[in-house]
Amino acid sequence: MEYPRQDRDYEPVETRIRHFEEFVLPLAERELSTQGARCMDCGIPFCHQGCPVNNLIPDWNDLVWKGEWQRASQVLHSTNNFPEFTGRICPAPCEEACTLNLEDVPVSIKTIECAIVDKAWENGWITPQPAAHKSGKSVAVVGSGPAGMACAQQLARTGHAVTLFEKNDRIGGLLRYGIPDFKMEKHHIDLRLEQMQAEGVDFKTGTHVGVDITAEQLLQQFDAVALTGGSELPRDLPVPGRDLEGVHFAMQFLPQQNRRVAGDSIPPEQAITATGKHVIVIGGGDTGSDCIGTSIRQGCASVTQLEILPRPPEKENKGLTWPLWPNKLRTSSSQAEGAVRDWSVATKCFSGENGKVEKIHCVRVAWNKDAAGVWQMSEIADSEFELPAELVLLAMGFVHPVQEGLLNDLGVAFDQRGNVLGATEGANAYHTSVDKVFAAGDMRRGQSLVVWAIREGRQCARAIDEYLMGCSELPR
């Protein structure tokens, strides 16, 4: 009632699109303290329930208000291994769940989280926490995204000898080679790499498990295995013209730019760039937004984002949706940089000359419920249109993990959606159908969020610890 909501601002579009660095402007300490004071310390803190890692949000809001930043960092790290990741790229379901969001003015939880952890790094409060005793047990973690990193860190801290395998040349999973630097600079991952090395985690990059080490060797050499390889099979668009040059999956395009920023060079014959081109992004989610921001920074002629689903409502009905995540129109910082967006559009085909894509041919669609109440899509007659398309980026999500190779060699069972089968509760939590093999993150739950990956990595570590030692003191 006393203080209005204030949140971080962005560098203006004209300047931020000239570089690939982060562009969010932090609040001053005094402003952050005031924002912490807005928290009502609700009897039932819905924010805490809305957060997948169950961050103790009212507690650290209060500590920030009181200026007790180091204590705030300890409380924050008690539930989240990597708040500098979530403080930058989490969509913040906690803020949707905040009681103050009933009036559209939630506490600036994500901004406060990010400020706490940034301050903790600046002041040297984040140090390695090596285990006091070694357990004598060894664990292989396969895949170094946020799930694998969180799992490995928790297991090392409780005394197990952890080897973290990564097929790419650098660790981080999609944090490293999916999410652009302008959303999260990569030195944040490198700091955690150093911390985890000091805690005893052995990183083996450039090692494709299932190829460089067989499934059999893995099971022989380790007491337990955590599969955290993500959900890497992209959803394709098998329409005529799909094989034309210039039609690519988003994940063929985005990692190249992250590599350039990291100082790597991309061989010209492999380079995919948006410079000077009319770009079409198919798919309206996070990945699509990242393609837009990257294309704009590369100097595209135009960028249009097409979504097959209808345009969501401008505003949710809070009485029906709060404290859950509502379906409503959201505009990402990348979309605000100059993308044209269109909804209820399906792709019929691509066309071009000399083997190169030049146009996308679309049709408008309608969504109606059938007699059984299931949404059905139908094409609207005479609504065909075409757009110039010199680069088409397919950002329609991921089907499930790659099953060929490691997963099939291990013989793990899959759920109905093709993800690695494993429950999250009960005596067999995170255990796959194969003894001593566990799974967490996108590989188990399907494509999701960084914060869910961290939660699953932490909980999977506890399940493995219980499996190896009979009990565990790791938090859930």
The binder of ligand FAD chosen from 148, 246, 284, 446 (CB under 6 A)? 148
Helices then strands, counting H and E runs in the chain, come out as 18, 18
Residues composing the chain: 476
Q: From ligand FAD, ligand SF4, none, which one binds at residue 230 (CB under 5 to 8 Å depending on kind)?
A: ligand FAD
Provide the β-strand partners of residue 202. 163
The binder of ligand FAD chosen from 159, 200, 229, 284 (CB under 6 A)? 229
Query: What whole-number distance in Å separates Cα of residue 456 and Cα of residue 476?
Result: 9
Structure tokens at 96: 């949707």
Q: Between residues 39 and 147, which has the closer beta carbon with respect to ligand FAD? A: 147
Q: Of 367-426, which residues contact ligand SF4 (CB under 6 A)?
A: none
Angle between helix 69-77 and helix 109-122 axes, rounded to 10 deg: 110
- Provide, rounded to whole angstroms, the least separation between the CB of residue 314 and ligand SF4: 23
Which residue in this structure is represented by tokens 């595209």? 300
Q: Of 76-105, which residues contact ligand SF4 (CB under 6 A)?
A: 98-100
Query: What whole-number distance in Å separates Cα of residue 67 and Cα of residue 32?
Result: 10
Provide the β-strand partners of residue 302. 278
40 sits near ligand SF4 (criterion: CB under 6 A): yes
96 sits near ligand FAD (criterion: CB under 6 A): no
- Provide, rounded to whole angstroms, the least separation between the CB of residue 45 and ligand SF4: 4
Query: What whole-number distance in Å separates Cα of residue 328 and Cα of residue 38?
Result: 25
- Provide, rounded to whole angstroms, the least separation between the CB of residue 92 and ligand SF4: 11
Q: From ligand SF4, ligand FAD, none, which one binds at residue 287 (CB under 5 to 8 Å depending on kind)?
A: ligand FAD
Q: How many residues bind ligand FAD (CB under 6 A)?
A: 39
- Provide, rounded to whole angstroms, the least separation between the CB of residue 102 and ligand SF4: 10
The answer to whether the beta carbons of residues 451 and 109 sit under 8 Å apart is: no
Q: From ligand FAD, ligand SF4, none, which one binds at residue 40 (CB under 5 to 8 Å depending on kind)?
A: ligand SF4
The side-by-side arrangement of strands in the sheet containing 224-227 is 202-204, 161-165, 138-142, 224-227, 437-439
- Tell me the C-alpha to C-alpha distance, in Å, between residue 189 and each of 68, 85, 194: 26, 8, 9
- Choices 109-117, 193-201, 222-230, 463-471; region in contact with ligand FAD by CB under 6 A: 222-230
37 sits near ligand SF4 (criterion: CB under 6 A): no
389 sits near ligand FAD (criterion: CB under 6 A): no
Q: From ligand FAD, ligand SF4, none, which one binds at residue 98 (CB under 5 to 8 Å depending on kind)?
A: ligand SF4
Query: What whole-number distance in Å separates Cα of residue 275 and Cα of residue 134?
Result: 53
- Tell me the C-alpha to C-alpha distance, in Å, between residue 332 and each of 69, 281, 288, 456: 30, 14, 10, 26
Positive or negative: CA dihedral 287, 204, 272, 355:
negative
If DSSP codes are grouped into helix, strand and coil, which group holds residue 64?
Answer: helix
The separation between CA 461 and the C-alpha centre of its own chain, rounded to angstroms, equals 20
450 sits near ligand FAD (criterion: CB under 6 A): yes
Query: What whole-number distance in Å separates Cα of residue 408 and Cα of residue 400?
Result: 13
233 sits near ligand SF4 (criterion: CB under 6 A): no
Q: Between residues 61 and 73, which has the closer beta carbon with respect to ligand SF4? A: 61
The answer to whether the beta carbons of residues 332 and 307 sit under 8 Å apart is: no
112 sits near ligand SF4 (criterion: CB under 6 A): no
167 sits near ligand FAD (criterion: CB under 6 A): yes
Q: Of 401-420, which residues contact ligand FAD (CB under 6 A)?
A: 406
- Choices 52-60, 192-200, 208-216, 424-432; region in contact with ligand FAD by CB under 6 A: 208-216
Structure tokens at 441: 């993150």
The binder of ligand FAD chosen from 116, 453, 461, 464 (CB under 6 A)? 453
Q: From ligand FAD, ligand SF4, none, which one binds at residue 89 (CB under 5 to 8 Å depending on kind)?
A: ligand FAD
Q: From ligand FAD, ligand SF4, none, which one binds at residue 284 (CB under 5 to 8 Å depending on kind)?
A: none
- Provide, rounded to whole angstroms, the least separation between the CB of residue 29 and ligand FAD: 26
In degrees, to the nearest 5, what angle opens at C-alpha 110 toward C-alphas 13 and 127? Answer: 110
- From residue 47 to residue 76, the character string flagging contacts with ligand SF4 as x (rule: CB under 6 A) and all else as - is x---------xx--x---------------
- Provide, rounded to whole angstroms, the least separation between the CB of residue 108 and ligand SF4: 9
441 sits near ligand FAD (criterion: CB under 6 A): yes
The binder of ligand SF4 chosen from 45, 87, 284, 401 (CB under 6 A)? 45
HEC profile for 383-451? CCEEEECCEEEECCCEEECCCCCHHHHHCCCECCCCCECCCCCCCCCCECCCCCEEECCHHHHCCCCHH
Give the residues lining the site for ligand FAD (CB under 6 A). 89-90, 142-148, 165-168, 173-175, 178-179, 183, 208-210, 228-230, 254, 286-287, 290, 406, 441-443, 447-451, 453
Residue ranges in contact with ligand SF4 by CB under 6 A:
39-42, 45-47, 57-58, 61, 98-100, 107, 109
